[in-house]
Protein backbone atom coordinates (compact mmCIF):
# COMPACT_ATOMS: atom_id res chain seq x y z
CA UNK A 1 0.00 0.00 0.00
CA UNK A 2 1.26 3.53 -0.87
CA UNK A 3 1.84 5.75 2.30
CA UNK A 4 1.22 9.47 1.50
CA UNK A 5 2.71 10.69 4.81
CA UNK A 6 5.92 8.78 4.23
CA UNK A 7 5.97 10.14 0.72
CA UNK A 8 5.64 13.75 1.94
CA UNK A 9 8.52 13.37 4.41
CA UNK A 10 10.94 12.11 1.74
CA UNK A 11 13.22 14.47 -0.14
CA UNK A 12 13.28 14.96 -3.91
CA UNK A 13 16.02 12.39 -4.40
CA UNK A 14 14.22 9.77 -2.33
CA UNK A 15 11.03 10.39 -4.26
CA UNK A 16 12.85 9.79 -7.54
CA UNK A 17 14.22 6.52 -6.19
CA UNK A 18 10.77 5.38 -5.06
CA UNK A 19 9.26 6.27 -8.46
CA UNK A 20 12.03 4.42 -10.22
CA UNK A 21 11.52 1.36 -8.03
CA UNK A 22 7.77 1.42 -8.69
CA UNK A 23 8.36 1.65 -12.43
CA UNK A 24 10.73 -1.30 -12.21
CA UNK A 25 8.22 -3.30 -10.15
CA UNK A 26 5.36 -2.41 -12.50
CA UNK A 27 7.49 -3.37 -15.51
CA UNK A 28 8.50 -6.65 -13.89
CA UNK A 29 4.89 -7.38 -13.03
CA UNK A 30 3.81 -6.59 -16.56
CA UNK A 31 6.61 -8.70 -18.04
CA UNK A 32 5.75 -11.51 -15.67
CA UNK A 33 2.14 -11.39 -16.79
CA UNK A 34 3.26 -11.33 -20.41
CA UNK A 35 5.56 -14.29 -19.83
CA UNK A 36 2.78 -16.15 -18.05
CA UNK A 37 0.43 -15.27 -20.90
CA UNK A 38 2.89 -16.40 -23.56
CA UNK A 39 3.68 -19.53 -21.60
CA UNK A 40 -0.02 -20.25 -21.29
CA UNK A 41 -0.55 -19.75 -25.03
CA UNK A 42 2.41 -22.01 -25.84
CA UNK A 43 1.13 -24.71 -23.52
CA UNK A 44 -2.35 -24.52 -25.03
CA UNK A 45 -0.85 -24.70 -28.53
CA UNK A 46 1.33 -27.66 -27.49
CA UNK A 47 -1.68 -29.46 -26.05
CA UNK A 48 -3.72 -28.78 -29.19
CA UNK A 49 -0.87 -30.03 -31.39
CA UNK A 50 -0.39 -33.12 -29.23
CA UNK A 51 -4.08 -33.89 -29.36
CA UNK A 52 -4.09 -33.32 -33.10
CA UNK A 53 -1.06 -35.57 -33.59
CA UNK A 54 -2.60 -38.24 -31.41
CA UNK A 55 -5.84 -38.08 -33.37
CA UNK A 56 -3.95 -38.23 -36.66
CA UNK A 57 -1.94 -41.24 -35.48
CA UNK A 58 -5.12 -42.97 -34.38
CA UNK A 59 -6.71 -42.30 -37.76
CA UNK A 60 -3.66 -43.64 -39.61
CA UNK A 61 -3.57 -46.81 -37.53
CA UNK A 62 -7.30 -47.32 -37.97
CA UNK A 63 -7.04 -46.70 -41.69
CA UNK A 64 -4.13 -49.13 -41.96
CA UNK A 65 -6.09 -51.79 -40.10
CA UNK A 66 -9.02 -51.26 -42.47
CA UNK A 67 -6.86 -50.91 -45.57
CA UNK A 68 -8.29 -53.49 -47.92
CA UNK A 69 -5.02 -53.72 -49.83
CA UNK A 70 -3.50 -55.65 -46.91
CA UNK A 71 -6.16 -58.29 -47.30
CA UNK A 72 -5.89 -58.71 -51.05
CA UNK A 73 -3.56 -61.34 -52.51
CA UNK A 74 -0.99 -60.10 -54.98
CA UNK A 75 -1.46 -61.59 -58.41
CA UNK A 76 0.77 -59.21 -60.38
CA UNK A 77 2.47 -62.11 -62.19
CA UNK A 78 0.39 -64.87 -63.68
CA UNK A 79 2.36 -68.08 -64.22
CA UNK A 80 0.99 -70.23 -67.02
CA UNK A 81 0.15 -73.82 -66.19
CA UNK A 82 2.66 -76.34 -67.43
CA UNK A 83 3.47 -79.98 -66.94
CA UNK A 84 6.52 -80.86 -64.92
CA UNK A 85 9.62 -81.34 -67.06
CA UNK A 86 10.07 -84.78 -65.52
CA UNK A 87 7.65 -87.71 -65.51
CA UNK A 88 5.46 -88.40 -62.49
CA UNK A 89 7.30 -90.37 -59.86
CA UNK A 90 10.73 -89.30 -61.16
CA UNK A 91 13.56 -89.82 -58.63
CA UNK A 92 14.60 -86.81 -56.53
CA UNK A 93 17.91 -86.47 -58.38
CA UNK A 94 16.10 -85.90 -61.67
CA UNK A 95 13.71 -83.42 -60.07
CA UNK A 96 16.58 -81.44 -58.54
CA UNK A 97 18.51 -81.40 -61.80
CA UNK A 98 15.43 -80.23 -63.75
CA UNK A 99 14.74 -77.50 -61.18
CA UNK A 100 18.33 -76.20 -61.28
CA UNK A 101 18.19 -76.09 -65.08
CA UNK A 102 14.92 -74.15 -65.01
CA UNK A 103 16.26 -71.69 -62.40
CA UNK A 104 19.34 -71.04 -64.51
CA UNK A 105 17.22 -70.56 -67.64
CA UNK A 106 15.01 -68.06 -65.85
CA UNK A 107 18.00 -66.05 -64.64
CA UNK A 108 19.59 -65.96 -68.09
CA UNK A 109 16.30 -64.77 -69.60
CA UNK A 110 15.89 -61.89 -67.14
CA UNK A 111 19.58 -61.00 -66.65
CA UNK A 112 19.43 -57.97 -68.97
CA UNK A 113 15.78 -57.11 -68.57
CA UNK A 114 12.54 -58.49 -69.98
CA UNK A 115 11.78 -55.76 -72.50
CA UNK A 116 12.35 -58.15 -75.39
CA UNK A 117 9.31 -60.29 -76.21
CA UNK A 118 11.35 -63.45 -76.69
CA UNK A 119 13.13 -63.00 -73.35
CA UNK A 120 9.82 -62.45 -71.59
CA UNK A 121 8.44 -65.59 -73.21
CA UNK A 122 11.50 -67.61 -72.18
CA UNK A 123 11.22 -66.28 -68.65
CA UNK A 124 7.53 -67.17 -68.37
CA UNK A 125 8.22 -70.66 -69.67
CA UNK A 126 11.01 -71.16 -67.13
CA UNK A 127 8.74 -69.90 -64.34
CA UNK A 128 6.09 -72.41 -65.39
CA UNK A 129 8.61 -75.26 -65.19
CA UNK A 130 9.81 -74.13 -61.77
CA UNK A 131 6.26 -73.79 -60.50
CA UNK A 132 5.42 -77.29 -61.71
CA UNK A 133 8.37 -78.66 -59.69
CA UNK A 134 7.49 -76.73 -56.52
CA UNK A 135 5.66 -78.17 -53.51
CA UNK A 136 3.01 -75.50 -53.75
CA UNK A 137 0.86 -76.44 -50.78
CA UNK A 138 3.88 -76.67 -48.48
CA UNK A 139 5.23 -73.32 -49.69
CA UNK A 140 1.86 -71.65 -49.10
CA UNK A 141 1.56 -73.10 -45.61
CA UNK A 142 5.08 -71.99 -44.69
CA UNK A 143 4.41 -68.46 -45.86
CA UNK A 144 1.17 -68.22 -43.90
CA UNK A 145 2.88 -69.62 -40.79
CA UNK A 146 5.65 -67.01 -41.07
CA UNK A 147 3.07 -64.21 -40.55
CA UNK A 148 5.29 -61.64 -42.22
CA UNK A 149 4.15 -58.00 -42.07
CA UNK A 150 5.18 -57.63 -45.73
CA UNK A 151 2.88 -60.41 -46.96
CA UNK A 152 -0.94 -60.20 -47.15
CA UNK A 153 -2.52 -62.26 -44.42
CA UNK A 154 -4.74 -64.12 -46.85
CA UNK A 155 -2.26 -64.48 -49.70
CA UNK A 156 -3.34 -67.10 -52.21
CA UNK A 157 -1.33 -70.20 -52.93
CA UNK A 158 -0.50 -69.00 -56.44
CA UNK A 159 0.78 -65.65 -55.21
CA UNK A 160 2.86 -67.29 -52.47
CA UNK A 161 4.47 -69.69 -54.95
CA UNK A 162 5.22 -66.83 -57.33
CA UNK A 163 7.01 -64.85 -54.62
CA UNK A 164 9.02 -67.85 -53.46
CA UNK A 165 10.17 -69.17 -56.83
CA UNK A 166 11.26 -65.71 -57.94
CA UNK A 167 13.25 -65.53 -54.71
CA UNK A 168 14.84 -68.86 -55.66
CA UNK A 169 15.96 -67.37 -58.96
CA UNK A 170 17.55 -64.44 -57.16
CA UNK A 171 19.22 -66.83 -54.71
CA UNK A 172 21.12 -68.70 -57.42
CA UNK A 173 21.50 -65.78 -59.84
CA UNK A 174 25.22 -65.20 -59.17
CA UNK A 175 25.97 -68.86 -59.94
CA UNK A 176 23.48 -69.50 -62.77
CA UNK A 177 26.22 -70.04 -65.35
CA UNK A 178 28.54 -72.00 -63.07
CA UNK A 179 26.56 -74.97 -61.75
CA UNK A 180 28.36 -78.32 -61.85
CA UNK A 181 25.38 -80.65 -62.21
CA UNK A 182 27.69 -83.69 -62.26
CA UNK A 183 28.49 -83.00 -58.59
CA UNK A 184 24.87 -83.43 -57.50
CA UNK A 185 24.61 -85.25 -54.17
CA UNK A 186 21.48 -86.51 -52.43
CA UNK A 187 21.05 -86.85 -48.67
CA UNK A 188 19.95 -89.41 -47.65
CA UNK A 189 20.88 -91.56 -50.62
CA UNK A 190 17.57 -93.43 -50.57
CA UNK A 191 15.03 -90.95 -49.16
CA UNK A 192 11.49 -91.87 -48.24
CA UNK A 193 9.72 -88.55 -47.64
CA UNK A 194 12.28 -85.71 -47.43
CA UNK A 195 15.66 -85.18 -49.09
CA UNK A 196 18.32 -82.56 -49.70
CA UNK A 197 20.04 -82.25 -53.07
CA UNK A 198 23.16 -80.12 -53.45
CA UNK A 199 25.47 -79.17 -56.30
CA UNK A 200 28.77 -77.31 -56.42
CA UNK A 201 28.71 -73.91 -58.13
CA UNK A 202 30.88 -70.87 -58.78
CA UNK A 203 30.70 -67.69 -60.80
CA UNK A 204 32.58 -68.13 -64.12
CA UNK A 205 33.79 -64.53 -64.16
CA UNK A 206 35.24 -64.90 -60.67
CA UNK A 207 36.89 -68.19 -61.68
CA UNK A 208 38.58 -66.46 -64.61
CA UNK A 209 39.84 -63.60 -62.45
CA UNK A 210 41.00 -65.97 -59.73
CA UNK A 211 42.96 -68.08 -62.23
CA UNK A 212 44.83 -64.99 -63.42
CA UNK A 213 45.58 -63.94 -59.84
CA UNK A 214 46.84 -67.42 -58.93
CA UNK A 215 49.04 -67.46 -62.02
CA UNK A 216 50.51 -64.09 -61.03
CA UNK A 217 51.15 -65.28 -57.46
CA UNK A 218 52.83 -68.40 -58.81
CA UNK A 219 55.18 -66.25 -60.86
CA UNK A 220 55.66 -63.65 -58.11
CA UNK A 221 54.99 -65.44 -54.81
CA UNK A 222 54.55 -63.36 -51.66
CA UNK A 223 57.17 -63.60 -48.91
CA UNK A 224 56.59 -65.14 -45.52
CA UNK A 225 57.90 -63.82 -42.20
CA UNK A 226 61.40 -65.20 -42.92
CA UNK A 227 61.54 -63.61 -46.35
CA UNK A 228 61.08 -66.92 -48.17
CA UNK A 229 58.50 -67.50 -50.94
CA UNK A 230 55.18 -68.38 -49.31
CA UNK A 231 53.70 -71.66 -50.61
CA UNK A 232 50.03 -71.85 -51.65
CA UNK A 233 47.77 -72.32 -48.65
CA UNK A 234 50.12 -70.61 -46.22
CA UNK A 235 48.91 -67.60 -44.22
CA UNK A 236 51.08 -65.18 -46.21
CA UNK A 237 49.88 -66.63 -49.53
CA UNK A 238 46.20 -66.56 -48.50
CA UNK A 239 46.53 -62.99 -47.26
CA UNK A 240 48.05 -61.88 -50.57
CA UNK A 241 45.38 -63.80 -52.49
CA UNK A 242 42.60 -62.19 -50.48
CA UNK A 243 44.04 -58.71 -50.98
CA UNK A 244 44.16 -59.17 -54.76
CA UNK A 245 40.67 -60.66 -55.03
CA UNK A 246 39.09 -57.93 -52.92
CA UNK A 247 40.71 -55.33 -55.17
CA UNK A 248 38.80 -56.89 -58.08
CA UNK A 249 35.45 -57.00 -56.30
CA UNK A 250 35.18 -60.56 -54.98
CA UNK A 251 36.55 -62.76 -52.22
CA UNK A 252 37.82 -66.30 -51.80
CA UNK A 253 36.73 -68.99 -51.70
CA UNK A 254 34.50 -68.50 -54.72
CA UNK A 255 32.73 -71.86 -54.69
CA UNK A 256 29.45 -72.57 -52.95
CA UNK A 257 26.77 -75.23 -52.79
CA UNK A 258 23.21 -74.80 -54.00
CA UNK A 259 20.87 -76.81 -51.81
CA UNK A 260 17.36 -77.95 -52.69
CA UNK A 261 15.01 -79.30 -50.04
CA UNK A 262 12.66 -81.87 -51.53
CA UNK A 263 9.51 -83.53 -50.25
CA UNK A 264 7.42 -86.35 -51.62
CA UNK A 265 3.98 -84.99 -52.50
CA UNK A 266 1.37 -87.33 -53.97
CA UNK A 267 4.08 -89.83 -54.99
CA UNK A 268 6.10 -87.14 -56.76
CA UNK A 269 9.18 -85.32 -55.47
CA UNK A 270 8.78 -81.55 -55.30
CA UNK A 271 10.97 -78.70 -54.00
CA UNK A 272 9.93 -76.47 -51.13
CA UNK A 273 13.17 -74.62 -50.37
CA UNK A 274 16.29 -73.45 -52.25
CA UNK A 275 19.34 -71.83 -50.69
CA UNK A 276 23.11 -71.56 -50.58
CA UNK A 277 25.57 -73.19 -48.20
CA UNK A 278 29.28 -73.96 -47.93
CA UNK A 279 30.42 -76.26 -50.71
CA UNK A 280 31.46 -79.82 -49.96
CA UNK A 281 35.06 -79.06 -50.82
CA UNK A 282 35.07 -76.15 -48.39
CA UNK A 283 33.53 -78.30 -45.68
CA UNK A 284 36.23 -80.93 -46.11
CA UNK A 285 39.17 -78.55 -46.41
CA UNK A 286 40.86 -77.68 -43.14
CA UNK A 287 42.04 -74.22 -44.14
CA UNK A 288 43.92 -71.96 -41.76
CA UNK A 289 42.29 -68.62 -40.88
CA UNK A 290 43.14 -65.97 -43.46
CA UNK A 291 45.00 -63.05 -41.84
CA UNK A 292 43.92 -59.57 -42.75
CA UNK A 293 47.49 -58.28 -43.19
CA UNK A 294 50.70 -59.73 -44.46
CA UNK A 295 53.31 -60.78 -41.89
CA UNK A 296 56.11 -58.37 -41.13
CA UNK A 297 58.97 -58.64 -43.56
CA UNK A 298 56.83 -59.50 -46.58
pLDDT at 117: 93
Helix (H, G, I), strand (E, B) or coil at 195: strand
Residue by residue, DSSP assigns 148-184 as -TTS-TT--HHHHHHHHHHHHHHHHGGGTT-EEEEEE
Tell me the average pLDDT across 49-57. Answer: 57
pLDDT at 105: 97
* 248 in a structural domain: no
Each residue of 80-126: pLDDT tens digit?
777 888 998 999 999 999 999 999 999 999 999 999 999 999 999 99
Distance CA 217, CA 239 (A): 11
* 31 in a structural domain: yes
Residue 44 lies in domain: 4-60
Distance CA 281, CA 237 (A): 19
Mean per-residue pLDDT over the chain, rounded? 80
Confidence of residue 278 (pLDDT cuts 50, 70, 90): confident
Higher pLDDT, 11 or 136: 136
* Cα separations in angstroms, 13 against 2, 16, 17, 42, 264: 18, 5, 6, 43, 110
Q: Which long-range contacts (CB under 8 A, 24 or more apart) does 266-269 make?
A: 267/88, 267/89, 268/84, 268/88, 268/89, 268/90, 268/95, 269/90, 269/91, 269/92, 269/95, 269/195
Higher pLDDT, 287 or 262: 262
* 40 in a structural domain: yes
Each residue of 212-268: pLDDT tens digit?
999 999 999 999 988 899 999 999 999 999 999 999 999 999 999 999 999 999 999
Confidence of residue 14 (pLDDT cuts 50, 70, 90): low
The domain tally of the chain equals 1
* 235 in a structural domain: no
* Cα separations in angstroms, 192 against 4, 91, 99, 155, 270: 113, 11, 20, 31, 13
Confidence of residue 47 (pLDDT cuts 50, 70, 90): very low
Q: Tell me the CA end-to-end span of the chain in Å, nearest whole number.
A: 95
* 48 in a structural domain: yes
pLDDT at 225: 87
Distance CA 236, CA 294 (A): 6
Q: What angle do CA 277, 97, 281 make, to 5 degrees?
A: 35
pLDDT at residue 168 is higher than 80? yes
Confidence of residue 298 (pLDDT cuts 50, 70, 90): very low
Tell me the average pLDDT across 69-79. Answer: 49
* 12 in a structural domain: yes
pLDDT at 284: 55
pLDDT at residue 286 is higher than 60? no
pLDDT at 45: 61
Backbone angles phi, psi at 230, to 5 degrees: -80, 125
The CA dihedral of 216, 218, 223, 225, to the nearest 10 degrees, is 130
pLDDT at 68: 40
pLDDT at residue 76 is higher than 90? no
* 218 in a structural domain: no
pLDDT at residue 127 is higher than 60? yes
pLDDT at residue 54 is higher than 60? no
pLDDT at residue 65 is higher than 90? no
pLDDT at 82: 78
Confidence of residue 72 (pLDDT cuts 50, 70, 90): very low
Confidence of residue 26 (pLDDT cuts 50, 70, 90): low
**Single pTM value for the model:** 0.68
* 56 in a structural domain: yes
Q: What angle do CA 87, 91, 97 make, to 5 degrees?
A: 85
Could you give the percent of the chain with pLDDT greater than 70? Answer: 67
Taking the CA atoms of 60, 62, 64 and 68 in sequence, report the sign of the dihedral they define: negative
Higher pLDDT, 206 or 8: 206
Amino acid sequence: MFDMNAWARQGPFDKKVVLAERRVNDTALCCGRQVDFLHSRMMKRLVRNSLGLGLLTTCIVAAACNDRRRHQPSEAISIPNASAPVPAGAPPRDVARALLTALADAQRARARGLGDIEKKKAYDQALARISALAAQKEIHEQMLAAKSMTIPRDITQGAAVTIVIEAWISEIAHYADGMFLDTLRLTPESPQSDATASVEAENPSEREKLSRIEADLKEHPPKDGQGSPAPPGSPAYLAALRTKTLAQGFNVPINTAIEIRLRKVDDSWRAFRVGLSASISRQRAALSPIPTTLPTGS
